[in-house]
Structure 1
């Protein structure tokens, strides 16, 4: 690059454009840019899983007061330790221990800037020349983005919609080789709304052990279940295979903007310690940002004092919303929902393009829906499944019904005559 006679020695890192080519945030921005500014109707956001914008999903006052107390104490205006404040790490360990057959210690817990930083740290630690990682399809595209950024090859195994979006374990075995380092399991599922049974998770653990790989358990939606299957953490099977558990308070406490999460070595046999993975996690945290100290300080009070009725209220609203979503999509002739959501905040529906005119694919559908109806829905291509749609139902039930009614009207208007 030249400017006059001067040759500049810098240029952009082009790999960043490749790594971030398809992300939820990027696609959302495209949809929002495509809205009809002359449409006076309220935008109905069925594309973004952030219920905190709606009054019915307000977090508990216990959490609010815990943060206020931490700030007013003036004890937490300092830098946080690399791995996080000890009382907060101890509280996360105790919180997870409620569901485990063994006991985590604070030394197993590393606090992160939400679950996204936990993903970043995990991918960075596992990346090495020639290595590959197994990711679910559909899945959360941030894994692909971080893998591409770290030059870690991503290989995709399918989730089976007819079996409640269970992992295709035969595909996992076929994909793995001597350079495979891990497989990612998202449970409860984003984008599918699936909740895996104890038996299926055990089979996943046994398969990973057979292949000699770890399991990365993304449990950011942990305990947000409202179907027949209870939430079972992957760490239950830590004695079979080493597990890195990723989580946060973002979803269960409805505070995604607080950016507090964790990365946990769920590994009673100490394999992650012996292999140097734990030490690498600490090294990676040494060169990255920390979650806000006063939010860390609030964690013990949040975990100890939140009452069960707060969680029950959230679950009841989610159950009602999931029912609305599943039943109303039956009224829309161009889409099919193969599995009623059992957890998280999402449903995947298949788009039947043969029934529509002037719609080329799922992205085209979502762009035109946004422009014509002021409704945003995430195209399946953003989560790895073209010509599907991911619908977020974590909004007020009345708004959800309105949004799906607008989607129905859109489909009727574009249906083949």
Structure 2
């Protein structure tokens, strides 16, 4: 197939899974669907709003409508974000921290993707490198490439709940290492780190003299044995930049409201003139729409716990279903049960299948034959793995998994 040739680096294209976005790969997979008989079911992208069981609250919608109708927020906002928005996010984050953040600690961004871009751009310097987990959300590698930052990958240990290989981190770090990224709850792995492991990460970062970038876009979406603990809890041990957004917990990814917070209670970032650089960079990149920013205090205050609890129960139900069904298919190995977020990784044992060469080949043929879309692991840095999104309507998820089972049985050796 032409699409697979592109991604394998064939003559007709110069792109590979390492430098194409998730949306780009999923777009190619959608184009390869070759059946009008079956409805397409996508378990590839983390947008739960595709399914009617995942909906934003009426309170959130009314907050946006009120902000728009009052006609007070049609102009530009301060480049770092509206003061009331920054304060609302600071108060929200402070609820889970052993210290209080101020509005000045928070910078409003157009989703977590822009927060990633801002963090890496401000930290970049000639000859520097950054430590990224493997597997990893690929936007980090793409942003680093645009900023000429060398990327060094440390392994996440699949047999140990996808914990960070701290020994590898120490070996990879040198005087040019500027930061390491920790994604918790994990995307794409579905893990949730323990308090003890996060403390070990912070102690390692302190010893190595590097900044921690804590990607917590799936913050609080934990439903396993480990509760969600923000990395900023250890901000007194090592400097922590916390990235997040409304998108996943409030089920509004299209509203593009994210943040970057300096979750370290001392003056570490101020002494390094980091805040000054943050403000200057904010001047050249626009944030989210002003009326969306203005709605944030109402969204946070108006959302009741019952909304979050319902979504957690549903994610636990669909993750259990996905894990159970995938474990029962012989060509897959599931090293650990999902503990949080909206997706997890399964290993593809392609040697048990005929006419399937690897994870990329598996995904394209699955799309063509069964109209089911999943993400090949190579897109997030792990060849012959698959990322499965379980934030889906249970009936649709079950149908997709049954089609995958039929596909695997049909291709079994």
Task: Name the residue aligned to 2:118.
Answer: 121
Task: Name the residue aligned to 2:30.
Answer: 32
Residue 377 in structure 1 maps to residue 390 in structure 2: no
Structure 1 residue ranges without an equivalent (≥5): 1-15
The CA RMSD measured in Å over matched residues stands at 1.2
Distance 2:19 2:207 in 1: 34
Task: Name the residue aligned to 1:290.
Answer: 287
Task: Name the residue aligned to 2:5.
Answer: none
CA shift digits 1:207-229 (9 cap, x unpaired): 00100000000000000011111
- Cα distance, 1:21 vs. partner? 2.1
Q: How do 1:166-245 residues align onto structure 2 when only pairs under 5 Å count?
A: 166-245=163-242
Distance 2:358 2:17 in 1: 23
Task: Name the residue aligned to 1:146.
Answer: 143
Task: Name the residue aligned to 2:354.
Answer: 357
- Residues 118 and 246, structure 1, Cα contact 8 Å, conserved in 2: yes
Distance 1:114 1:403 in 2: 29
- Cα distance, 1:57 vs. partner? 0.4
Residue 251 in structure 1 maps to residue 248 in structure 2: yes
- Residues 134 and 153, structure 2, Cα contact 8 Å, conserved in 1: yes
- Cα distance, 1:40 vs. partner? 2.3
Tell me which of 154, 161, 165 is aligned to 1:164: 161
- Cα distance, 1:27 vs. partner? 0.8
Task: Name the residue aligned to 1:12.
Answer: none
Distance 2:156 2:39 in 1: 35
Distance 1:283 1:111 in 2: 14
Structure 2 residue ranges without an equivalent (≥5): 1-13
Q: How do 1:268-279 residues align onto structure 2 when only pairs under 5 Å count?
A: 268-279=265-276
- Residues 43 and 374, structure 1, Cα contact 8 Å, conserved in 2: yes
SS in 2 for 1:366: helix
Tell me which of 301, 305, 323 is aligned to 1:308: 305
Task: Name the residue aligned to 2:103.
Answer: 106
CA spacing shift, 1:90–1:160, aligned 2, 3 Å: same
Tell me which of 66, 84, 87 is aligned to 1:87: 84
Distance 1:203 1:22 in 2: 33
Distance 1:129 1:150 in 2: 10
CA spacing shift, 1:256–1:237, aligned 2, 3 Å: same
Task: Name the residue aligned to 2:264.
Answer: 267
Task: Name the residue aligned to 1:7.
Answer: none
SS in 1 for 2:396: helix
SS in 2 for 1:29: helix
Residue 403 in structure 1 maps to residue 391 in structure 2: no
Residue 22 in structure 1 maps to residue 25 in structure 2: no
CA shift digits 1:141-196 (9 cap, x unpaired): 00000001110000000000111000000000000000000000000000000000
Task: Name the residue aligned to 1:77.
Answer: 74
User: 274-283 or 168-177: which moved more?
Assistant: 274-283
CA spacing shift, 1:339–1:52, aligned 2, 3 Å: same
Task: Name the residue aligned to 2:383.
Answer: 386
Task: Name the residue aligned to 1:345.
Answer: 342
Distance 2:281 2:30 in 1: 35
Distance 2:15 2:191 in 1: 31
Distance 1:333 1:282 in 2: 53
Name the TM-score, length of structure 2 as normaliser. 0.95
- Cα distance, 1:281 vs. partner? 1.2
- Residues 63 and 295, structure 2, Cα contact 8 Å, conserved in 1: yes
Task: Name the residue aligned to 1:67.
Answer: 64
- Residues 218 and 248, structure 2, Cα contact 8 Å, conserved in 1: yes
Distance 1:158 1:312 in 2: 32
Distance 1:20 1:175 in 2: 20
Residue 299 in structure 1 maps to residue 296 in structure 2: yes
- Cα distance, 1:17 vs. partner? 6.7
- Cα distance, 1:246 vs. partner? 0.1
Task: Name the residue aligned to 1:134.
Answer: 131
- Cα distance, 1:41 vs. partner? 1.2
- Residues 18 and 379, structure 2, Cα contact 8 Å, conserved in 1: no
CA shift digits 1:313-334 (9 cap, x unpaired): 1001000000001100012110
Task: Name the residue aligned to 1:4.
Answer: none
